[in-house]
Structure 1
Amino acid sequence: MENKAHAMAAGAFVLVVTALLVLLAVWLTRDNTQRDLYDMSTSETVSGLQPQAAVRFRGVPVGKIELIGFDEKVKGNVLIRVSIDRGAPVTKSTFATVASQGVTGLGFIQLDDDGKSAERLAVNDDDPPRIPLKPGGLDKLLKQSEVIFNQVEEASTRLNKLLSDENQQAITAAVKQLGNAAGSMDRVAKGLEPTVASLPALSRDTTATLKSVKTAADDISTTATRLNEKGGPLDKLSEGGTALAAGVETFSAATLPKLGEVADETARAMRQMRRTVSAVDDNPQSLIFGNGPPVPGPGEPGFSASGVKK
């Protein structure tokens, strides 16, 4: 009897301890956070999402997924209902995407806001408001996969055409031509070796010539300096030119006017002499008897049209 009493006491103690542990666990895991319900509807695939998966706003945990089912309002769409902390900044411009977590690939809901509206989304647990669910990166990749596959197939076809037998023969011929061209260049290089070897001597001759030209230029510069210096040939030539210009100016100012007057007097004397010679030639007797009376003009007594005195 005593053993049975001890066994019952031990069993009761275990039950009490177990009950206390359960109560402690419930107390430690209790969640007093106030959350609001929101719905998301999408026609995309939501593989990887599970109920109780996390809901994050720009990486910060703000809630969890309550259920995943079919949308009764939009036929064929998947409905995701989430509970989000009331303190989360859910506005009319907030949108959601399906993201995957790390290496495990477990899905979760990622919330974000484009900032177009600051008005909070009105909550109603009886008819939860809807947050737009946009395609995530994986969905976009799946949509583009067909285009990528087509491009890969086209690239593979072009590569096969490029590596056809005809193109391979053409490439082989081109490589041979390149080899021949390289051999020709090698022969040309060998033919240029004597010319290249003579370049140092040519360079030395050119250097000597340049030195001679520089010496001649220095001599010309020295000569020009001597010609241009004070009292040099050019200076004396300039002084002689100045004196000559002064003499010409004096001659033009004093002598030329007098020569002009003498020329005028000489011209008048020549004209008078010409008239005298003409008169003597017309009437030679005038040298002995003089000129006589003048010949009568028209209308005067003794006038004659023949010029003979009556």
Structure 2
Amino acid sequence: MENKSHALAAGVFVLVVAAMLAGLATWLTRDNTSYQQFELTSKDGVTGLQPQAAVRYKGVAVGKVTRIGFDPQLPGNVLIRIAVNDQAPITPSTFAVLGYQGVTGLAHVQLDDDEVAQPVEPPGPSGLPRLPLRSSPLSRLAEQGPAILGQVQEATQRINQLLGDDNQKRFSTVLDSMGQAASSVAALSQRLDTTVKERLDPTLAALPPLAGDARQTLQALQQAGTQVSTLAADIGQTTRRLSADGGALDQLTQGTQALARVADQFGNSTLPRINRAADDTSRAARQLGRTAGGVNENPQVFIYGPGRSGAGPGEPGFEAPVVQP
């Protein structure tokens, strides 16, 4: 009986300790945070993502993954349910993407905001709101993998063709040609050295006298330019003197104006007087001519006087003479 009582006490003690450890674990792992449930659906694989994986909003832990399964609405899609802290700033422009931690391959859900609002996805059968899940960089790289491998294979084939036997022979020929060209260049350089020593050096020796002649010519040109500048200054001074007040041009202008006034006065006063005098002289000459004609026709005018002469043609009282038959 005593052994049974010790065994019962030990069993009770173990049960009490186990209950206390379970309660302590529950108390330590309790979470009083309020969460909001969201769903994510994706046609890409979610390798490395596990339940209880972290959900981060711009790198800050705001929740966890609660469930991973298949989407009953879209066959072939993966459905991920996440719990997000109510304090997380979820907006209509929020989207999700899978992130990976280094080389471990473990994935987590990364939330971020875009500049424009995302299209609202209809809720699933559970009635929970859904957030758009974009393809991760690793998924895009996996999708582009076949194309990259094809390009690498094509580049390898081209390199093999470039390094083929025929091209290697051509490269050898090109290298030989380049060696011959280098030899030709060296020979040409030697010829140039000989030409410089035999022909160019004497020419360079003759350059100093030629440079002296050129200096003398330049000095002569400078003297001629100085003389031209002096002549231009004299011409400018003469022009200023002619154009100054009271100068030759001014006096010539005044003389021309006086001559114009004299000509104007002659045309306005003297010339009409001369014309009237000429008209009077003409009338007097005509009268003298008529008088001389009358004396010539009737010399008795000096004795009997002029008498009364008959009316002439066009005058009042003129009568045409009668013509005898």
TM-score range, shorter chain: 0.5 to 0.7
Structure 2 counterpart of 1:146: 146
Q: SS of the counterpart of 1:128? A: coil
| Equivalent residues in 2 for 1:117-266, closer than 5 Å | 117=117, 127-197=127-197, 199=200, 202-222=203-223, 225=226
Cα gap change, 1:21 to 1:184, in 2 (>3 Å):
same
State TM-score, norm by structure 2: 0.60
TM superposition shift of 1:163: 1.4
Q: Which amino acid aligns with 2:203?
A: L
**Does the CA contact (< 8 Å) of 1:59 and 1:110 recur in 2?**
yes
Q: Which amino acid aligns with 2:149?
A: F
Q: Which amino acid aligns with 2:65?
A: I
- Deviation by residue 1:26-84 (Cα, 9 ceiling, x = unmatched): 33332111001111111111100010001111211111000111112222211111000
Q: SS of the counterpart of 2:87? A: coil
State TM-score, norm by structure 1: 0.63
Q: SS of the counterpart of 1:152? A: helix
d(CA) in 2 for partners of 1:140, 1:29 = 38
Structure 2 counterpart of 1:56: 56
Cα gap change, 1:60 to 1:217, in 2 (>3 Å):
same
Cα gap change, 1:216 to 1:124, in 2 (>3 Å):
closer
Q: Which amino acid aligns with 2:110?
A: Q
TM superposition shift of 1:195: 2.6
d(CA) in 2 for partners of 1:123, 1:86 = 19
TM superposition shift of 1:220: 4.5
**Does the CA contact (< 8 Å) of 2:67 and 2:80 recur in 1?**
yes
TM superposition shift of 1:111: 1.2
Percent identity among equivalent residues?
40
d(CA) in 1 for partners of 2:139, 2:9 = 61
d(CA) in 2 for partners of 1:212, 1:141 = 80
Q: What RMSD in Å do the two structures reach over aligned CA positions?
A: 3.8
Structure 1 counterpart of 2:294: none
**Does the CA contact (< 8 Å) of 2:96 and 2:112 recur in 1?**
yes
Q: Which amino acid aligns with 2:45?
A: T
| Farther-moved stretch of structure 1 (111-120 vs 96-105) | 111-120
Q: Structure 2: 5+ residue runs without aligned partners? A: 239-325
**Does the CA contact (< 8 Å) of 1:91 and 1:121 recur in 2?**
no
Structure 1 counterpart of 2:97: 97
Cα gap change, 1:89 to 1:226, in 2 (>3 Å):
closer
Q: Which amino acid aligns with 2:178?
A: L
